[in-house]
Amino acid sequence: MPHSPAAIVSAMHEELRALLPLLDDRHTVRLAGRDFHHGVIHGQPVVLALSGIGKVAAATTAVLLMHAFDSRQLVFTGVAGGLAAGVNVGDVVVARQLLQHDMDASPLFPRFEVPLTGRARFDADTDLADALAAATRSCSGVRLHQGLIVSGDRFIASAADSDVLRALLPDALAVEMEGAAVAQACADFGRPFAVVRTISDRADDAAHLDFVRFIDEVASATTRAIIEEWLAHV
Instruction: Give the nearest distance from C-beta 200 to ligand SAH in angstroms.
Output: 5
Burial class (CB in 10 A: 0-12, 13-18, 19+), 38: middle
Told to check if 182 binds ligand SAH by CB under 6 A, we report no
With CB under 6 A, what is the number of residues at the site for ligand SAH? 18
Choose, by CB under 6 A, the member of 114, 201, 222, 223 that binds ligand SAH. 201
121 forms bridges with which residues in the sheet? 99
* Cβ proximity to ligand SAH, 125 vs 178, nearer residue: 178
Q: Are 62 and 55 in contact (CB under 8 A)?
A: no
Site for ligand SAH in 147-166 (CB under 6 A): 155-157
* Cβ proximity to ligand SAH, 122 vs 211, nearer residue: 211
Told to check if 39 binds ligand SAH by CB under 6 A, we report no
Told to check if 74 binds ligand SAH by CB under 6 A, we report no
Q: In whole angstroms, what is the distance from residue 93 CA to residue 87 CA?
A: 8
Site for ligand SAH in 82-141 (CB under 6 A): none
Burial class (CB in 10 A: 0-12, 13-18, 19+), 166: middle
CB atoms within 10 A of CB 136: 24
* Residue 150: closest CA among 190, 195, 106: 195
* Cβ proximity to ligand SAH, 92 vs 157, nearer residue: 157
Instruction: Give the nearest distance from C-beta 175 to ligand SAH in angstroms.
Output: 5
Q: What is the DSSP letter of 175?
A: E
Q: Are 178 and 54 in contact (CB under 8 A)?
A: yes
Site for ligand SAH in 2-21 (CB under 6 A): 11
Binding part of the chain for ligand SAH, among 28-36, 92-100, 114-122, 171-179 by CB under 6 A, reads 171-179
* Per-residue interface string for the shown chain with ligand SAH, residues 52-71, x marking contact by CB under 6 A: -x------------------
**Catalytic (active site) residue 228:** no
Q: Are 120 and 114 in contact (CB under 8 A)?
A: yes
E strand spans, the chain = 6-10, 24-31, 34-41, 44-50, 73-82, 92-100, 121-123, 144-151, 172-176, 193-201
172 forms bridges with which residues in the sheet? 148
Catalytic residue of the set 91, 113, 178, 201: 201
**Catalytic (active site) residue 171:** no
Instruction: Give the nearest distance from C-beta 199 to ligand SAH in angstroms.
Output: 8
Which stretches of the chain bind ligand SAH, using CB under 6 A?
11, 53, 78-81, 155-157, 175-178, 200-201, 203, 207, 211
Residues marked as catalytic: 15, 201
